[in-house]
């Protein structure tokens, strides 16, 4: 292809948009969005509680290591760290608010357009995601380093930009004499020395560098594939935030929308596409909290506090991480059920109790394509068992064979 061929190909694609349906079931997506959004809010609430308790504990010098006590060289950090975490919680709350499930009650064919998603929706959601992943990665980096020059760089670069255009009244309300002097000192440093001066330092300037650094410092290290996922999210969200050609075209062309419907009511392909992206972003950010952000908060606490004071907080953060990972795994999972041979194909209505708490009623005609849970998107696999046995003993305990006749004296692990 020459340059004109390439330009022709681009022109045809940017002017004709297919009406595209998402690859997942909208009802399942909405249920999973609700579930992960609630999990995210639980994580924010938990970190908020730990933040309050840590802030209080650090008021007492006996809970601080010597370097962080009043006479120590790192004494400002017990005041700085709570502020950094509080900033992180604010941006996470914004993200949680923007990733709530669609409100479908009262939606009819006549007003289904209220579910339509376009440029404003995509731009707000992805820009907020970009803010979360960017600022929490920077915060995590500072929490792991707790280094004066690196923190000075982080704040002074931000302050320098803010000061360029801020109104006099905000400047007066926000800037005290100390910070003005610090900014004046920073402005005396030539631009090419900002990243390595006597008062400032930045060894990992890009997002990717910070992610790699964090993954090398966390113990246990998060799985490496997740670092690539974060870098990909950063690039993807930059494309939206900086109004890239492709993202703007995709989200701003209305296209023809066919009205879909399910048991709850009508919806549009754009609603479903948007939900797919929302769900993927929710999963990545919630995993990011579990795998990176919470462990970095824990790292800072363990650096600043003696072991006896830090342990309760770091244990709580570790258990939050485990809790998030375990709960995320219950979505879109594979579950296996033992079923008495011969039952499939009869007119029996088979009940499959999913691990998420919902019961799938697999009714006649039993369609194998319908073997998934509408509540959590998990696939339900059936393993046929011959003979008259009532239970199969698994590593998780005894499991009832569906369709078998047994005395009901096994509880707990019975499904």
- The contact set with Zn ion (CB under 5 A) reads 354, 356, 358, 373, 375-376, 378
The closest alpha carbon to 268, from 90, 113, 47, belongs to 113
Place of tokens 């990733």: 99
Taking the complex as a whole, the smallest distance from the CB of residue 9 to Zn ion amounts, in Å, to 43
Instruction: Output the smallest distance, CB 415 to Zn ion, in A.
Output: 12
**Nearest distance, CB of residue 378 and Zn ion, angstroms:** 5
Question: Least distance from C-beta 351 to Zn ion, angstroms?
Answer: 13
| Residues sharing a CB contact under 8 Å with residue 378, sequence separation 6 or more, in sequence order | 330, 331, 332, 333, 334, 335, 354, 355, 356, 372
Closer of 282 and 354 to Zn ion (Cβ)? 354
Is 331 or 340 the residue whose CB approaches Zn ion more closely?
331
Tokens 């485990």: give the residue.
322
Q: Which is nearer to Zn ion, 145 or 376 (CB)?
A: 376
Instruction: Give the residues across from 267 on adjacent strands.
Output: 260
CA of 176: how far to CAs of 80, 169, 171, 172, 183, in Å? 16, 13, 9, 8, 11
Give the integer Cα–Cα distance in Å for 282 and 324: 12
380 bridge partner residues: 335
* DSSP alpha helix (H) spans, 330-381: none
Q: What tokens appear for 161 in the block? A: 């930009």
Which stretches within 16-99 are classed as H helix? 26-57, 77-98
For the bound state, the minimum distance from the C-beta of residue 357 to Zn ion, rounded and expressed in Å, comes to: 7
305 or 352: whose CB is closer to Zn ion?
352
Closest approach, Cβ 374 to Zn ion, in A, equals 8
190 vs 396, beta carbon nearer Zn ion: 396
Measured from the CB atom, the residue of 204 and 415 that comes closer to Zn ion is 415
304, 65 Cβ separation under 8 angstroms: yes
């Amino acid at each position: 292809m020459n340059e004109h061929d390439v330009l022709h190909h681009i022109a045809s694609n940017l002017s004709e948009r297919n009406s595209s349906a998402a690859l997942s079931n909208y009802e399942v997506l909405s249920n999973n969005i609700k579930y992960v959004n609630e999990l995210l809010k639980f994580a924010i609430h938990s970190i908020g509680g730990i933040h309050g308790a840590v802030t209080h504990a650090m008021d007492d010098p006996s809970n601080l290591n010597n370097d962080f006590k009043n006479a120590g060289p790192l004494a400002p950090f017990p005041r700085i760290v709570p502020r950094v975490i509080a900033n992180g919680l604010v941006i996470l709350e914004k993200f949680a608010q923007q990733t709530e499930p669609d409100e479908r009650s009262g939606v009819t064919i006549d007003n289904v357009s209220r579910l339509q998603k376009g440029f404003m929706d995509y731009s707000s959601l992805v820009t907020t995601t970009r803010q979360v992943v960017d600022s929490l990665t920077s915060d995590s980096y500072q929490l792991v380093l707790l280094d004066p020059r690196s923190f000075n760089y982080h704040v002074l670069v931000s302050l320098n930009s803010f000061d360029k255009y801020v109104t006099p009244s905000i400047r007066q309300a926000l800037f005290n004499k100390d910070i003005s002097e610090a900014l004046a000192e920073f402005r005396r440093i030539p631009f090419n020395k900002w990243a390595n001066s006597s008062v400032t330092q930045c060894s990992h300037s890009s997002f990717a560098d910070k992610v790699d650094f964090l993954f090398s410092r966390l113990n246990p290290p998060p799985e490496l594939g997740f670092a690539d996922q974060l870098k990909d999210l950063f690039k993807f969200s930059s494309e939206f935030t900086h109004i890239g050609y492709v993202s703007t075209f995709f989200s701003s062309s209305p296209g023809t929308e066919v009205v879909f419907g399910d048991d709850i009511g009508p919806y549009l392909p754009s609603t479903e596409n948007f939900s797919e992206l929302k769900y993927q972003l929710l999963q990545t950010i919630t995993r990011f909290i579990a795998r990176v952000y919470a462990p970095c908060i824990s790292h800072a606490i363990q650096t600043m506090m003696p072991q006896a004071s830090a342990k309760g907080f770091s244990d709580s953060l570790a258990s939050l991480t485990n809790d998030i990972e375990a709960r995320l795994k219950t979505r879109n999972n594979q579950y296996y059920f033992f079923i008495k041979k011969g039952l499939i194909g009869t007119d029996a209505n088979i009940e499959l109790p999913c691990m998420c708490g919902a019961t799938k009623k697999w009714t006649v005609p039993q369609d194998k394509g319908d073997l998934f849970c509408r509540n959590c998107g998990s696939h339900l696999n059936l393993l046929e068992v011959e003979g008259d046995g009532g239970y199969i003993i698994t590593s998780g305990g005894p499991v009832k064979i569906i369709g078998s006749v047994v005395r009901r004296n096994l509880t707990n692990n019975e499904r």
